[in-house]
Amino acid sequence: MAPVRKERTRPHREIAKGPAAAAESFKSKSKDDKGNLKHKAQITFAKSLGQHILKNPMIIQGIVDKAALRNTDTVLEIGPGTGNLTQKLLESSKKVIAVEMDARMVIELQKRFRDTTLYPKLQLINGDFLKTDLPFFDVCVANVPYQISSPLTFKLLSHRPIFRCAVLMFQREFAMRLVAKPGDPLYCRLSVNTQLLARVDHLMKVSKNNFKPPPKVESSVVRIEPRNPPPPIDFNEWDGLVRLCFSRKNKTLSAIFKQKSALEILQQNLQTYCSLKQIPMPSKSIKEIVTDVLTSTKSDSWRSSKMDQDDFLRLLNTFNQNGIHFS
């Protein structure tokens, strides 16, 4: 009688289910006393949080070099992820304050650094950056979650005391809007408002292949240096004017300001201003006042897409002198 062959059984492997199964995974690793990689574990990325981990060590070092950190600096990092950039920042500064929304990543950072000589220099804040009260810092360095690029930028620029600079990774198109000049196709309200408050320089392009998982867009690194002291301008009013001008950026100012909707807004603002100041309304109609402002500044044929900071400032001052405000 022939011997019965036993079937070989394979070890059971659990299959991930649900939305998390579609998430990209990465291998986190334990570290030696300087945070260098040793052995592997596994975690998943949450794409909804914009988690694209920068993996190229040369790009990471280039970003740190561009920040020109001093050993006395306190550095703010936004969205540190698994800590690749964090490690280089810790090695180059006095302290790193890392704001991370994902509690899993906070645990990974603790695992990575807690048994190292760098850990005493690391302060972790688990929370939403946009809702976090920021402590003092000298420099901000971050691979930014792209979906919060604009509010993040203006939260930083409104921070006091003023920091020295920020070196930030953004989506390429957003970065190019930040640095765009009058006449450039990407010149927009974002360009004007950012450059009012800071000097912005494009530093380097970064291919999507340098991230894990790779994003769908290319990236760029920019340096933002806040103007110190800041310009003596009511930013809300400035933004009100710029928003109106860029509602149709390739139209002349005459065409923009003489729209019925624009005149109605300016009329309401004028009434509010006169009421607060307890002064009578001017005898001229709002359309006549607007025409006088555009004529006196010789700006009726200007187009927002070609106006620089001085042009917007001159226009705002003249409107204000005639009792018209934008906030």
Q: What is the pLDDT of residues 195-227, one digit of tens each?
A: 999 999 999 999 999 998 898 999 999 999 999
Q: Is 81 helix (H, G, I), strand (E, B) or coil?
A: coil
Least confident of 26-30, 105-109, 247-251: 26-30
Using 50, 70 and 90 to split pLDDT, how confident is the model at 48? Answer: low
**pLDDT of res. 13:** 36
**83 pLDDT more than 70:** yes
* Number of C-beta neighbours around residue 34 at 10 A: 12
**pLDDT of res. 222:** 98
Q: What is the C-alpha to C-alpha distance for residues 119 and 46, in angstroms, rounded to an integer?
A: 25
Under 8 Å between Cβ of 54 and 169: yes
Average model confidence (pLDDT) across the chain: 88
Least confident of 13-22, 155-164, 177-186: 13-22
**pLDDT of res. 52:** 81
* Number of C-beta neighbours around residue 203 at 10 A: 18
CA dist 82 to 17, 98, 173, 181, 225, Å? 24, 11, 26, 36, 27
Q: What is the C-alpha to C-alpha distance for residues 217 and 211, in angstroms, rounded to an integer?
A: 11
**231 pLDDT more than 90:** yes
What integer is the mean pLDDT of 169-173?
97
What is the strand order of the sheet 198-206 is part of?
A: 122-126, 95-100, 74-78, 139-143, 165-171, 219-226, 198-206
H or E, element range at 238: helix 235-245
Q: By C-alpha distance, which of 271, 259, 250 is closest to 323?
A: 271
* pLDDT digits 0-9 by tens, 87-144: 999 999 999 999 999 999 999 999 999 999 999 999 999 999 999 999 999 999 999 9
What pTM was estimated for this model as a whole? 0.84
CA dist 66 to 169, 207, 229, 304, Å? 12, 18, 23, 33
**35 pLDDT more than 80:** no
What are residue 28's DSSP bridge partners? 41
Q: What is the C-alpha to C-alpha distance for residues 179 and 188, in angstroms, rounded to an integer?
A: 10
**31 pLDDT more than 60:** no
**pLDDT of res. 24:** 40
Q: By C-alpha distance, which of 325, 270, 318 is closest to 292?
A: 318
**169 pLDDT more than 60:** yes
Q: Is 203 helix (H, G, I), strand (E, B) or coil?
A: strand
DSSP state of 153: H
**pLDDT of res. 65:** 98
**pLDDT of res. 12:** 38
Token pair recorded at residue 278: 């307890």
Q: What is the C-alpha to C-alpha distance for residues 143 and 99, in angstroms, rounded to an integer?
A: 12
The upper half-sphere exposure of residue 258, i.e. CA atoms within 13 Å in the direction of its Cβ, equals 14
Residues 25, 29, 31, CA angle at the centre, nearest 5°? 155
User: Which residues 6+ apart lie within 8 Å of 45 measured at CB?
Assistant: 23, 24, 25, 26, 51, 52, 53, 213
Using 50, 70 and 90 to split pLDDT, how confident is the model at 34? Answer: low
**246 pLDDT more than 50:** yes
Q: Is 198 helix (H, G, I), strand (E, B) or coil?
A: strand
**23 pLDDT more than 50:** no
Q: What is the C-alpha to C-alpha distance for residues 306 and 183, in angstroms, rounded to an integer?
A: 5
